[in-house]
Amino acid sequence: MENFFRIIAELIAKEVQEDSETIQAGLQFSPKDKFGDIAFPCFPLAKRMKKSPALIAEELRDKLKPPPEISGIEVEGPYLNFRIDPYALISDVVFRVLKDRQEYGNSYQHHGETAVMDYSSPNIAKPFGIGHLRTTVVGNSLMRIYRSQGYNAIGINHLGDWGTQFGKLIYAYDNWGDQQKLSENPINELFDLYVRFHREAEDNPEIEEEAREWFKKLESGDEKAREYWRQFKELSIKEFDKIYNRLGIDFDYYTGESFYNDKMESVIETLKEKKLAKMSQDALIVDLEEYGMSPCILKKKDEASLYATRDLAAAIYRKETYDFDKLLYIVGVEQTLHFRQLFKVLELMGFKWAKDCHHVELGRIKFEGEEMSTRKGNIIFLEDVLDKSKKLALQIIEEKNPELENKDEVAEKVGIGAVVFAQFTSKRNKNSSFSWDEALNFDGNTGPYLQYTHARLCSLQRKYGQEISDSVDLTWLKQPQELSLSKLVGQFPLNIKLALRDNEPSVVANYLLQVAAEFNTYYQKVRIIVDDSDTSAARMALVNAVRYTIEKGLLLLGIKAPERM
RNA sequence: GCCCCCGUAGCUCAGUAGGAUAGAGCGGCGGAUUCCUAAUCCGCAGGCCACAGGUUCGAUCCCUGUCGGGGGUACCA
């Protein structure tokens, strides 16, 4: 499709003495079929040419001498609408996809650039709740989207493996812990201890003080504290990996907060040298008042470090180690101030790359209107959600397709697909409310809908049973739906670029729903494999183009596309 | 108090580098299966795009204000 945009842009540019890139940026896919395929709104030219947009459109229509692949130019008020020869359009798109297959939509635009992504980052010793689902799947999808556009993307799981909560946990385990329970079901045992600590602290606030003591010991290298900590961490990562495996996610690095313990002091030194750090209310801070922000606290009055200090050290370390062009923090919106402070301090330190750091904000997830809180113990385990979803998928398979082989494997893909896709149905910064009904819904705009459509497409190919020839004659595609479907497929690369621009995987998700809907309508109305072998071959070429598009799109979202379901 | 995000159909949400008659899904009602997977498709109902000004040829989108919801606001992350 990009060819056509370029051709049209050059055509217009020559006529109005404007550079063709500016014109091309003004071109758009026509929103409706009756407005042609590519539209050029003439408003931007009106001012400079001192004529009404409608008049400009008419003059342009008369002057332009389009090549044969542009089959028509129509004026609709201030719009100049270009119609592309259907055969040229369809073959441009379909042959492109059939050639690229799983690489369709990829580009080298950002080849040589590095993007570091900080995502998922759960807290050690806490269960993996649905609160962490967003960052995990959005981060994973952005990794894939960035890679598809040529980026060298580096995924970091910035584990919450340090901080005061470990003081609490060590206190709790030291007093009430059970080695047996811990090795049997580590996360549950640690979770119970954590909840119990907060319950007891309500009546006995002094144990908070003891917890702080334990954390100080941990920070200063106390052996007993470190051994507990090491054990908690190891067991936790093992549990998290189970979830990541199911989601098909891996990380390049698991460098958590503790990794930066020995890297904070030099940052603090630098801040002191630059006269940015100062004491206030017994804490070491960077004053940000003139930027309208509360201070960034580097050290508490008890000298213990804070996450801001660690994040500063981490950002600097990442720049030194990976020399990134972009550093993305895929983290909840409630940490916005923290990141604004962080980026501002980096800027004040004189790091020009501070502008390359971005907070990709995620909305909060609530459950039935309630805030989820690990402390209070009302948390939904992601593992439970995945299990329930899989079970439901299995049930539906038994009902609809009992002959299916490897039902369990398919149910896993579909069940997880439903849960993951649900995270992409609204923009990432919207707050959402978890509900079982929604998470376990397989009808309508859902992951299983896309997977089902994909399975249908695969089924057609199985039924057809022949390879698609390079020389297939696509002029047999004469149905209007075949043209609109091709047009839509041709918009895939644009949608990936939009998703990248806004760090918004939901763009791809919404686009895929459109493709699937368009295909299903087509499938309903038009029989694909027919007696006439030319027609069948042409239709199957289109079917395969749609199939690769959906498969690739799901891949970019981190969702598996089974061939049967 | 101050700062940030949000407000579109009964519900959940798309949509805007400002552009043509604002779109889906769910739920409701009514249809489609001797035929390539009905986890599908088709039709109907449902809208002062929170409200009021402003900028513009043109605003759901940009600016200002009001109302409503959420988050943050010095030693949690």
User: What is the reported pLDDT for A373?
Assistant: 64
Per-residue pLDDT of A52-80, as tens digits, reads 888 888 999 999 999 999 999 999 888 89
CA A460 to chain centre: 30
Instruction: Report the protein residue whose CA lies nearest the C1' of nucleotide B24.
Output: A445
Banded model confidence at residue A377, pLDDT cuts 50, 70, 90? low
The kind and range of the H/E element at A558 are none
Give the CA-to-C1' distance from A10 to B76 in angstroms. 58
- Interface confidence, given as ipTM, is 0.95
Instruction: Report the protein residue whose CA lies nearest the C1' of nucleotide B32.
Output: A524
Give the CA-to-C1' distance from A433 to B50 in angstroms. 21
Give the CA-to-C1' distance from A523 to B19 in angstroms. 33
Q: How many CA atoms lie within 13 A of A102 on its CB side?
A: 5
Which alpha helices (DSSP H) does A17-85 contain, by range? 20-26, 43-49, 53-63
User: What is the reported pLDDT for A261?
Assistant: 87
* Length reported for chain A: 565
CATH numeric code, A385-557:
1.10.730.10
Banded model confidence at residue A407, pLDDT cuts 50, 70, 90? very high
Banded model confidence at residue A372, pLDDT cuts 50, 70, 90? low
Q: What is the mean pLDDT of residues A160-174?
A: 88
Minimum CA–C1' distance nucleotide for A34: B20
Give the CA-to-C1' distance from A339 to B45 in angstroms. 47
Per-residue pLDDT of A430-453, as tens digits, reads 888 888 888 889 999 999 999 999
Minimum CA–C1' distance nucleotide for A521: B41
Is A476 within 8 Å of A443 (Cβ atoms)?
Answer: no
CATH numeric code, A2-84:
3.30.1360.70
Give the CA-to-C1' distance from A164 to B15 in angstroms. 45
Instruction: Report the protein residue whose CA lies nearest the C1' of nucleotide B70.
Output: A431
Q: How far apart are CA A369 and CA A90, in angstroms?
A: 48
Minimum CA–C1' distance nucleotide for A123: B77
Q: How far apart are CA A117 and CA A522, in angstroms?
A: 40
Amino acid letter for position A231: Q
Q: How far apart are CA A81 and CA A39, in angstroms?
A: 4
A478 pLDDT higher than 80: yes
CA A125 to chain centre: 26
A471 pLDDT higher than 70: yes
Q: What is the mean pLDDT of residues A395-399?
A: 94
Q: What is the mean pLDDT of residues A488-513?
A: 94
Give the CA-to-C1' distance from A496 to B58 in angstroms. 30
Q: How far apart are CA A403 and CA A480, in angstroms?
A: 36
A119 pLDDT higher than 90: yes
The pair phi, psi for residue A73, each rounded to 5°, is: -130, 125
First to last CA, chain A: 33
Lowest mean pLDDT among A144-148, A189-193, A409-413: A189-193
Minimum CA–C1' distance nucleotide for A510: B14
Return positions of chain B under 7 A from a protein CB: 2-6, 12-15, 17, 19-21, 24-27, 35-42, 57-58, 70-77
Minimum CA–C1' distance nucleotide for A281: B74
Per-residue pLDDT of A221-275, as tens digits, reads 899 999 999 999 988 898 899 999 999 999 999 999 999 988 999 999 999 999 9
Q: What is the mean pLDDT of residues A117-122?
A: 95
Q: Are strands A277-280 and A283-286 parallel, antiparallel or unpaired?
A: antiparallel
Q: Is A269 exposed, middle or buried (0-12, 13-18, 19+ CB in 10 A)?
A: exposed
Write down the domain spans for chain A.
2-84, 119-260+323-367, 385-557
CATH 3.40.50.620 describes domain A119-260+323-367: yes
Amino acid letter for position A268: I
What per-residue string of b and e applies to A43-57 under the rule 16 or more CB within 10 Å gives b? ebbbeeeeeebeebb
Per-residue pLDDT of A21-59, as tens digits, reads 888 888 888 888 888 899 998 887 877 777 788 888 899
Minimum CA–C1' distance nucleotide for A502: B17
Query: Pick from A220, A127, A211: which is nearest to A174 by CA?
Result: A211
Is A125 within 8 Å of A190 (Cβ atoms)?
Answer: yes
Q: A10 pairs with which residues across the strands?
A: none
Minimum CA–C1' distance nucleotide for A303: B75
Average pLDDT, chain A: 91
Banded model confidence at residue A541, pLDDT cuts 50, 70, 90? very high
Banded model confidence at residue A371, pLDDT cuts 50, 70, 90? low
Per-residue pLDDT of A412-429, as tens digits, reads 999 999 999 999 999 999
A370 pLDDT higher than 70: no
* Three-class DSSP category at A69: coil
Give the CA-to-C1' distance from A157 to B12 in angstroms. 31
Q: What is the mean pLDDT of residues A381-403?
A: 94
Banded model confidence at residue A495, pLDDT cuts 50, 70, 90? very high
Per-residue pLDDT of A314-341, as tens digits, reads 999 999 999 999 999 999 999 999 999 9
Give the CA-to-C1' distance from A155 to B24 in angstroms. 33
Query: Pick from A325, A351, A329, A326: which is nearest to A340 by CA?
Result: A329
**Residue A443, both tokens:** 């009808």
Give the CA-to-C1' distance from A123 to B12 in angstroms. 30
User: What is the reported pLDDT for A553?
Assistant: 97
Minimum CA–C1' distance nucleotide for A121: B77
Give the CA-to-C1' distance from A546 to B53 in angstroms. 49
Give the CA-to-C1' distance from A70 to B41 in angstroms. 34
| CA quadruple A373, A376, A380, A381: dihedral, nearest 10 | 100
Share of chain A above pLDDT 90, in %: 68
Give the CA-to-C1' distance from A427 to B8 in angstroms. 15
**Residue A62, both tokens:** 């008369």
A374 pLDDT higher than 80: no
Residues 6+ apart with CB under 8 A from A335: A359
Instruction: Report the protein residue whose CA lies nearest the C1' of nucleotide B21.
Output: A32
Minimum CA–C1' distance nucleotide for A393: B39
